[in-house]
Each structure stands twice: as structure tokens, then as C-alpha cells.
Structure 1
Amino acid sequence: MNAIIGFTKVLLKSDLSPKQKEYLTAIKMSGDALIVLINDILDLAKVDAGKMVFEQTPFKITLSISAMLHIFESKILEKNLKLEREYDNNIPEVLIGDPLRLHQIILNLLSNAVKFTTKGTILVSTRLLREDKDEVFVEFAVKDTGIGIAPNKLEKIFENFQQATSGTSRLFGGTGLGLAIVKQLVEHQGGSISVVSKQNEGSTFSFVLSFLKTNVAAENETDTVILDSEIKDLRILVAEDIALNQLLMITMLEDFGFMCDIAANGKIAIEMIQRKPYDLILMDLQMPEMNGFEATEYIRNRMKLHIPIVALTADVTTVDLAKCKSVGMNDYIAKPVDEKLLYRKIVNLVQGSDTTAETQALELKNKQKARCTDMNYLIQRTKSNPKLMMEMILLYLEQTPPLINTMKKSLYDKDWNLLYSAVHKMIPSFSIMGISVDFENMARKVQDFASTQQQADGINDMVNKLENICNQACSELKEEFNNIKSKTNELKS
């Protein structure tokens, strides 16, 4: 569905006849509605668990109502019903709230009204109840002349899987989840909902929500993205495993004038970052092999890069958002991806970041040049077993400092046997911890000197270099140990 809606938006920007645009607009609106319905069961669970996120964004209520009515126009005409709308013009044009959740509430109520009404009228009304200095209280109502609800069923109508009668589902279809979700969505925004109904005469569902007042204009209602002429030639990496979503992101980003590369999972994304600099990463959270959380954590903690990272997610919950922040992501965008929102977030992050693709390339080069250990060999040797990796790192951290001291002291004391023994014990750890072979060769030269006491030129300098590199390795490996330990504890919890 994310891909269907996304490509429909792309098509809507092309040259179309009025009829083609009308059909595509209907597809987009129907797709948006279907996404809402698909998410109903998930949303109910989220609200129950306190994980639902309610946005606060400027929008026009009148446009939200119009969009929902347009979705049901053909069905209402098909059933020979009359659709009426009443709108209070005293309601401020632009308010701050969650338009998506308002759509979801009205969609469910309208869906029921159309479903359970076989003749007569459906009325959708919106009126201003109260206006304060900072907020307004608006009452929304959906009235129908349908089958109505029996008095003994009214008190349970907002419970999960409840319908007017046991035969309602068989006759009209549906799960009975819609009203339960509506009640939860209204009440978790601090609102209230009620119903008045008479069997065989119809029902009126009304709810009240408060909205903040604002002087800010609502989002541009067209799908046209106004491009910033100063922001161009950006290099964007998209980490996404679904082919349709990959193509959609390529299409959008190229329309912005950006260059785009695709990585099918977090591991590939990391490999690509090591080879090529990027201005920003769009990171899907759920990917095989290495997900978006793991990849971001690696980029921040292991690679030490500050490139902006935006999470792509179809499931926006407080848990996910908190985790995005904790691993170092800069922002998130929900699927289906809104093109204007995507462009705005990319521009804001790139303009506000000190890290460009060029500075990232230099930063990465310096990090790679400065870092003396490489965990790839240890990972292969332990088959990525975190317990074994921690044991081997701990062993290195315990054994290396005493060996360094012994190496230095034996050189000062000219105890060549002890010097030979200390360096001999150090040599195997260089390859295990991914330390450059140059230092292993240097250690062998010190070992040869201890054995023969010949060609002593530079021996003090070599011992000092070995001390420095081993101290740096200890520092890096302590960090690796803590990262592995933290990740292991996270998995356990």
C-alpha cells in the first residue's frame, strides 16, 4: 500500500487529463483510507498500551471533512442516499491537531453510516462549541437514517468486536472494531464521544475535540514540492529492503535533484558508507541481517560519524521513536512517505548539519587512519559469538599492559631473555585484534634483536611505538567490550 500510494502521488505530478487526475485522486484517497483501515487493529493495541503518538501540526478542518466525504461519494450515490454537510464558519480556518487521527475517526463513523443506511440521508456536521484565547472546542457529528441501535446494545457499542445485533456482521459485514478505535482515539486526545440512536430510525454519533489556535498557515495542499535552488546535488543513501519502496524513493529523490544509492540492509549500508561519502541516510527500521537500529548504532558508536540519519517507518510508536533517538537518529518520517515532508526534513537536516559528504569523507578517512584495531578477524574467529568476543577482548586487556611494562623494563635492564619472552607473547594478539601487520613485523625485529643483540639501531624507538599502539588498542577494545556488553544486555531485556 505504501508503494501504491507513493507511485500514485508521483503520477499525479505528471501531465494528466482532468479525468485521469480525478481517477488518480480517487485512487490516492481510497489508498489513504485503506491504510487507515489496515492499521485499525494495530492502532487499537497501541492506544491500549499507551504507545499511540498524536501529532500536532497546522491543518484545515474543512479540507479534512471534504476529503472524507469525497471518499464515500460514489458509494452514497450507488445506494441512492442523500449526503448533507453543515459547517460552522466561525471555526478558525487553520488549527493545530492531528489530521490523520481526525480522518481516521470520521472515516470509521462515515463508513458505519453508509454501511447501515439503506435509504434516506447522511448528515455530517461540524460546529464551534467554545473558543478560548489559545484553543477551540469543536463538535463533529455523523447522523444517519439507518437501522439504528437497540437501547440494550447502546452501552456496549464502543466495546471491541461489538455490533448492533448478532446478525449485523452477517448482513452488513465488518468486524465491529471501528467504534472501539474511534472511542480510544477521541478519549486519548482528551475528547469525548456519545451516541443517540433509535432502532429502525437512525443514529447520531458525535464527538468533541479541542484544537490549539495558530497564526501559522496550513501545509500547502498541493502535491507540488517547491525546491530550494541552493540545495542540490545532495548524495542520499537509502537503506530499504523492499524493491517497490526502493524504486519509489529513487523516483522521489531524483525529482528533488538529489543523487541516490540503495542498500538492501544495514550491513550493506555500512559497507557503502565506508566506500563513499553521503550527505544524509534514509534508514528503514525493519530490514534483514542488520536492521536500521543496529546500523545506526554502528555508524554512531563504531564509525563515530555524525551524518544525519532519518528513520523510515510504517509503525510510529513512542517506543520506536524513543529507540530511534537513543541510537542516534536525527529524525523520522512515517510511511507512506509524504513528498513535501521528506524534502523539508532532508533540507532542514542538511542545512543544520556541519557534516557534508566531503567533510564526512575526510572524517571517515581520519577515523579509519587513526583507528588501530579491526574487529573483522575476531568476529570471524568467534563466529560473531558475543560471549567469546568479550572473553578474548578481556584476556587481551588483562595481559597486554603487564607485557608492555615487562618489555620496557627488560630493555632498560638489558634482560634480553625477558624482552624476547614478552614480545613473543605479544605478537599473536596483533593479528587477532586486527592491528596492522607493520607492528607485528616491528615486534619481530625487537624479538630478533633480543635473540642476537645485533643491529640495535632504533630499538628504543620501536619499543616506544609498540607501547603506544598497544595502549591505543587497549583503549579501543575497552570501548568495543562495552558496546558488545550493552548490546547483549539489550537483547536479554
Structure 2
Amino acid sequence: MKVGDKQLFLGMTSDISRKKAVERQKEERFIARLTRSNEELKKARVEAEAAVVAKSEFLANMTHELRTPLNSVVGFAGLLAKSSDLNAKNRRFAEIITSSSQALLALVNDILDISSLDADAVRLHPVVFSLPKLVEDVVASVSLMADEKNLQLKIEKGAAVGEAHFGDPVRLHQVLLNLVNNAVKFTSEGGVVVAISAAEPPGSDQHLRIAVRDTGIGISPEQVKSIFQRFTQADSSIHSRYGGTGLGLAISQRLVELMGGEIGVDSVEGEGTTVWVELTLPCEDARALADEDRADILQAAGSSSRVLVVDDVDLNRDLVAALLAPQGYVVSEATGGAEAIEAVKTGNYDIVLMDVQMPEVDGLQATRAIRAMDGFADLPIIAMTAQALASQWETCREAGMNDHLPKPITPVTLMAMMSKWTDGAPRVDDDNSGALDKLGGSSA
């Protein structure tokens, strides 16, 4: 090889080496950046998971803090409004307090539902129920607001609609109550019709359509497109005129989809709106309602079941005692977990209603201690808690609790729970007016 060729070869080799070195440096820098990105992603993931845990803990704590006073406000306001000792003016005041406290509770529930749906923590609890009766209950709940606005509120039931279906009546009630409440809210003249129909007579399954029609303000085609988005209302003036969070329809859509159904809107601006829900539900023999619809079949049975109510908040214990004592239950009280453990040892109770969050010995610790004692494995212990998240109930169940009674406690939910877990359920007074007398007070 000539000297010139050799120098040229060496030069080319050197250039190739330099290029390879540059490529290696680029590759190393890329790998370093990728490694840093992976580390940052891992860190972000850890932070996101921690944020989810923190959010859940915050919601659980806030739920408890909000629901605890609401339990007393809703409960006692409801008892007061039904008291026979009130004159018309004071009864009206009590009804306003009841309505306002229930509206506040609905807001709290909306916030919790959105969080639970986001976390896929909402579970359906299907039972046999009467759809026509459920719709009647929904309409009755908003009848006062409709009367105040001089609106007609009607139910139309198709001849083919069955009397008993299998589904989650609590969640369906929540959806329909939201739709009917919205219809009444946004209607100033005319009325609201809730129509239930079925294309075919009852069989193994029945495809149902529930339509809520109003003669209200209506919605434009552009606004219909976003009506089911969370925190969204038809226009910016809606909140100032009617209030609301814009969560109700978003929650309703998610719940209907969870039930395997579909929800939609047909509307003409200025003429009214129809919001419809279509579901396919298994049909059941109407006689099965006698076994499932516990709240509707509570009858007088002369029960004298002994109940231990455990709660560190005096008003909460007073409310439960005020609801139970007029129905024939023998009620004892404990102010904390340690006191409850000692009471169970000697009290011969038929059921324990146990608050969960209490200082020192909480409801979970008390339940574990009771379950560890001889002879109390089958004692019904019901969690009374303002924490409505599904994970909280799982914690209660793992501690040995049999069931879950969320606060605020209502007469129907309380009596249904007592009927489920005690022998010989006592009757439910239509007005529960006697409950106030058990507190030693009345109003004139």
C-alpha cells in the first residue's frame, strides 16, 4: 500500500471511529434520558397513588364530619315536622328545615358518588322490588315542591309494565329522583309526567322505558350535547337562577350505564324536555315482594327486642332511641366502644347498633373484642357510620359487623334494618310523632 493510500485509509478509519463515538454518546445520552423519564414516571405514579389514598382518606373524614351533624338535623327535623303538637306555622318551618337539610345531604351524596364512580367503587345490590311503587315514592318526594309552583305531577303506567322486577331499587330511585327533581325545578308552568312503559308483557326479562316529561325551559341542541358532562349546566345563567352543581345528570348516566341501560334527552328550547331511561330488568313473581320489600311489610308484632345503641355523640343516640322506643324496642345506650363491650357481657341484647368512628376504643375494635368473647359470634352488630365509601363497609365487614346503616338515619332505613336482623319486627308509625315524646319534649 502506498503511503498516500495508507494515510487516506487511516483517516477514513479515524472518521468512522469518531462517528461511532458520537453515536455511542448519543445513545448513552438517550438511554440516560429514558432512564430519567422512567424514574420520573415511577415517581409520578407513586405520587398519584398516594394522592388517591389521600383523597380517599379526606373524603372518608369529610363524609363523617358532614354526615354526623346532618344525621341529627335531618332526623330531628323530620320528627318535628310530623309531630301532632305543632301548629300550622311551626309545622311549615319544620318542613322547610327538613327540605333544606335533605338538599344539603343530596349535595354531599353527589360529591361522594362522583368520587366512588371514578374509583369504580360503586356496586349494585339487586333485590326484588316494585317499579310502580318506586316511581310513586319518587313522585311523592317532590310533590311539595310541585305544589308550591302549582304544577301538575302525574304518573302514567303502561298496561304491560310488570309489578315486580329484579334490580337495584336504591340506585334507580336515586336516578329517577334526580330527573323528576330537575323537571320540577326547571318548570314554572304546566307540569311533569313520569311515564313507565314496556314494549311487551312480563316474561323472563322486560325492556322498560321511564320517561320524565316537563313543560319547562327546554334545552337547545348545542346544550344537549354536553348535558351529561359533570359540573355542566345548560348555560351560565342556570346556576344563578336555579342553583345546582351540574353533577346530577353525570351521576345518573354513570349509574344507568352500570345497570346496563341507556339514558338520553329529547328537548325543544322553550317548550320542554323529556329525559328517558331504558333498562332491561328480569321479571319476578309479585309474591316475591313479600320477602324482599322489607320496608313495606313491617307489621305490628309486639316485639320487645333489646337494642344497644353505641355512639359517642349524644344527639345521635337520642335520635335512634327516639325512633325505636315508640315501636316497642327496649333501648340501652353506650357512649363508646369500651362501654359497649362491658354492656354486651351482661345485657343480653338482641342487636347492637355500633358507631364506627369513636375516640379511644372505636366501633371496629369493640366489634372485634365482642366477637372474640364466648357466645357472641351470632349477635347482630350493625355499623352506623357516616362514611359512605364502599371501602369503609368492607373494613366494617372484616371486623365482624353484619350490616351497614349509613347516616343520616331515616325511620324507614332503620326499621328495615331492625326487621332484617331481629325476630318479630315492630310496626312503623305512619308519622313517628310519638318519637318526640320519648325525648321528653314537644312543641306548640
Residue aligning to 1:296: 367
The answer to whether structure 1 residue 254 and structure 2 residue 328 are counterparts is no
Question: In the alignment, does 2:149 pair up with 1:79?
Answer: yes
Instruction: Classify 1:241/1:209 alpha carbon distance in 2 versus 1 (closer, same or farther; 3 Å).
Output: farther
| Structure-2 change in CA distance of 1:53 and 1:240 (3 Å) | farther
Percent of counterpart pairs with the same letter?
Answer: 35
Verify: 1:128 aligned to 2:198, yes or no: yes
Q: Does 1:322 align with 2:394?
A: yes
Query: In structure 2, the residue corresponding to 1:179 is in which secondary structure?
Result: helix
Gaps of 5+ in 1: 351-493
Q: Which ranges in structure 2 are unaligned for 5 or more consecutive residues?
A: 1-69, 426-444
- Contact 1:29–1:67 at 8 Å: present in 2 too? no
Q: Distance in 2 between matches of 1:225 and 1:201?
A: 46
User: What SS class does the counterpart of residue 401 from structure 2 fall into?
Assistant: coil
Correspondent of 1:344 among 400, 414, 419: 419
CA shift, 1:349, in A, is 11
Report 1:124-273 matches (<5 A): 124-130=194-200, 133-215=203-285, 216-218=288-290, 219=293, 225-227=299-301, 232=304, 234-273=305-344
Count of residue pairs brought into register by the alignment: 346
- TM-score, L = length of structure 1: 0.61
TM-score, normalized by length of structure 2? 0.67
1:88 corresponds to 2:162: no
Q: 1:322 to 1:130 in 2, by over 3 A?
A: farther
Partner of 2:405: 333
Note the alpha carbon deviations across 1:369-420, whole angstroms, 9 max, x for none. xxxxxxxxxxxxxxxxxxxxxxxxxxxxxxxxxxxxxxxxxxxxxxxxxxxx
Read off the aligned partner of 1:143 and give its amino acid letter.
R
Q: CA deviation at 1:180?
A: 0.9
Deviation of the 1:140 alpha carbon? 0.9
Q: 1:44 deviation in Å?
A: 1.7
Rate the CA distance shift 1:329–1:84 in 2: closer, same or farther, 3 A.
closer
The answer (yes or no) to whether the contact 1:223–1:339 under 8 Å persists in 2 is no
Aligned-partner Cα distance in 1 for 2:144–2:420: 36
Deviation at 1:205, TM superposition (A): 0.9
Distance 2:400 2:269 in 1: 56
Q: Residues of 2 paired with 1:266 and 1:172: CA distance?
A: 45
Alignment partner of 1:2 out of 71, 76, 82: 71
SS state at 1:209 partner: strand
Is residue 156–residue 196 contact of structure 2 (8 Å, CA) maintained in 1?
yes
Distance change (3 Å), C-alpha of 1:191 and 1:131: farther
Q: Which residue of 2 aligns with 1:102?
A: 172
Query: 1:314 offset after TM fit, Å?
Result: 3.8
Indicate conservation of the 8 Å contact 1:263/1:269, yes or no.
yes
2:384 counterpart (312, 331, 334):
312
State the 1:158 CA deviation.
Answer: 0.6
Partner SS, residue 167 of structure 1: helix
- Once the two structures are overlaid, the 10-residue window that deviates more, 31-40 or 3-12, is 3-12
Please give the root-mean-square deviation of Cα atoms over the aligned residues, in Å: 3.6
Pair 223,279 (structure 1): closer, same or farther in 2 beyond 3 Å: closer
Q: In 2 relative to 1, CA 122–102 (structure 1 residues): closer, same or farther, beyond 3 Å?
A: same
Give the 5 Å matches for 1:274-293. Answer: 274=345, 276-293=347-364
Query: Which one has more relative contact order, counting CA pairs under 8 Å at least 6 apart?
Result: 2
